Structure 1
């Protein structure tokens, strides 16, 4: 164990990360958007923000060389990690065994693309709530988040570190200039809020952009949350409404939503999609269903 490792109280510092990578023949790749965290203080901030305790079961996506993984295990939590990069996935159990041997039985890594993960192929039972905690690759962060929330209804909260621009979009509210498709779709599942900005110097290699944390909590109860047919329809409306965001709803949805549906919903068709809440998109979808279900009677 290195002197730096002792100073970091069991977590990985910059020299530890470089030593592990060199020994395993691993180099950060652009293909998988790898920027490894080298600052224990940042790791503990993420873990603390996520509220992880010894009672938690954490799903970590993209664990990399194990910086955040060790911080999660430090709490006594059980951790299931999903890693797409084969050499990294193979190295991770050895790192846990070396730096935190008492946690070996509380950790497992699954080598796969997180976008292909399901409760079945990960053996993550819906009987147990999950907390998602991850340092996500910038280029696939939003698809990963929305896919996992759709497939794993027992993910009740998350804290993710993403590019600051992505974080701003995920937590944006109606009327904000960066409010868009990710903002509204995430709001289908729960509430998101910014949880702090992370500088570039806590990564190896240092990225060219700042990062930020997003905190999310799934709704305890929403009457529409398990309606897959409604969700699909609402998401189609969202995609269409933001496909030309400067146009009015009347113009951009003219092939999908009738004037009658707008009238039934009580939503002014001269508004733009960027002004609608998730509840209003749902109301519009329900009004559309009502108009389609109502038979036309010729007079």
Structure 2
């Protein structure tokens, strides 16, 4: 188990991504995935109020609704739910009134008394940061949210948020959610991790498996044969350098009797300040690999080998 920042949230070091619920996983499959995850010891799910508004016929909130129905049906003890605000079509941005309305809507969809971890999904520079920070602080004071966090914020803006929170006397964020994995390292390691270390914040990275590339499924830059909605984005990493990372993961995974994906998650989990990588499963069969990643402990030499072979930056992200 691992603690998220200075919070009391103590979780298995893996967060199940809820972005697929209501998209590539329908309600029944989503329930089965959540059952398998929880049955295997998982206790932390990540979603957002905007998931999955991009799907034809959806309006946003579908993922939260499915998770809420699962929570009501299963009543899992100690299960931690994280969600986000700023991208829902009806609740766009981080103005104070919008943050409050969006949080209330998320609480209703999830069927919880309070959201365990509430992220500002994307920075909104059209709103004074003081207004957003105060709004998040009020949610904690009023009991709608237990802890706050930020996602996709620059190091400079995170430092500013913390300064303002201290000035206002409201709760500081406890976590940062950045794009971070073996093929996307430099920005996070150079700017975000130092902030996290200085202020005792935890990282909960998304795209932990590089949109599927770090499962080993994509060995060619030609994604035409793949049916996944993310195939093109994942296949971009299938360069000679990217494939060298896959080869290294395959060897290390074999030594631990786990998959390439599990080895990739284990490397990420071993990085400074990372509490719980986020990874999603659109089928029940994928859940075991994710749980293996949470429990696999790589040796220092294995971590160093993966760090060495992945010291590169893709031409596009």
TM exceeding 0.5: no
Query: What's the TM-score once normalised by structure 1's chain length?
Result: 0.37
Bigger-Rg structure (1/2): 1
Structure number with higher relative contact order (C-alpha < 8 Å, ≥ 6 residues apart): 2
The structure with the greater share of residues assigned to strand is 1
